[in-house]
Amino acid sequence: MPNPGPVSHLAFARARTGCSAHLGVRLSSLIEPTLKAPGCLHFALQQSMCDPDLWLVSGLWSSEQAMDAYFSTPELSVFADVVQERVVSSLDFHTFATVSAAQASQMHGAGTTIALRPGLQTV
């Protein structure tokens, strides 16, 4: 069942040694067309401050339908290209749905006891 609210995607791409700058250039080609895509609320390309080989591509979409339509665009072939060209050593792609506090409580049970540290609990 499609999620009626905002959804997002996160893609973590790790460049092979010596390929980080090239990966950054390739991923940056997504910025302009994605920001113009129908339903795109936010899109960002980020490079890790601690690991220059690690890149994050994130997008926020008005609906699951808008995100799915974007996933069908030719621009996303950049991910297949950097894998095929062996520019990346790993690529992890995830999608997320926005969850309200009430939905989270229903999914995980209200009143659950969580141990914060030995001897300290909250209900």
Q: For the range 26-29, what are the long-range contacts, defined as Cβ-Cβ under 8 Å and sequence gap of 24 or more?
A: 26/78, 26/81, 26/82, 26/87, 27/55, 27/57, 27/78, 27/82, 29/75, 29/78
Residue 1 lies in a domain: no
Question: In this structure, what CATH number is given to the domain that contains residue 33?
Answer: 3.30.70.100
Residue 56 lies in a domain: yes
What's the mean per-residue pLDDT of the chain?
87
Residue 59 lies in a domain: yes
Residue 2 lies in a domain: no
* Other C-beta atoms lying within 10 Å of the C-beta of residue 93: 12
* Predicted TM-score (pTM) of this structure: 0.80
What range does the domain containing 19 cover?
Answer: 7-122
Domain count across the chain: 1
Residue 80 lies in a domain: yes
pLDDT in tens, 35-72: 999 999 999 999 999 999 999 999 999 999 999 999 99
Determine the 3-state secondary structure of 89 from DSSP. strand
Residue 83 lies in a domain: yes
Is residue 98 very low, low, confident or very high in pLDDT (cuts 50, 70, 90)?
confident
The answer on pLDDT for 5 being more than 70 is yes
Spatial separation of the C-alpha atoms in residues 73 and 35, rounded to whole Å: 13
pLDDT of residue 23: 98
pLDDT of residue 112: 43
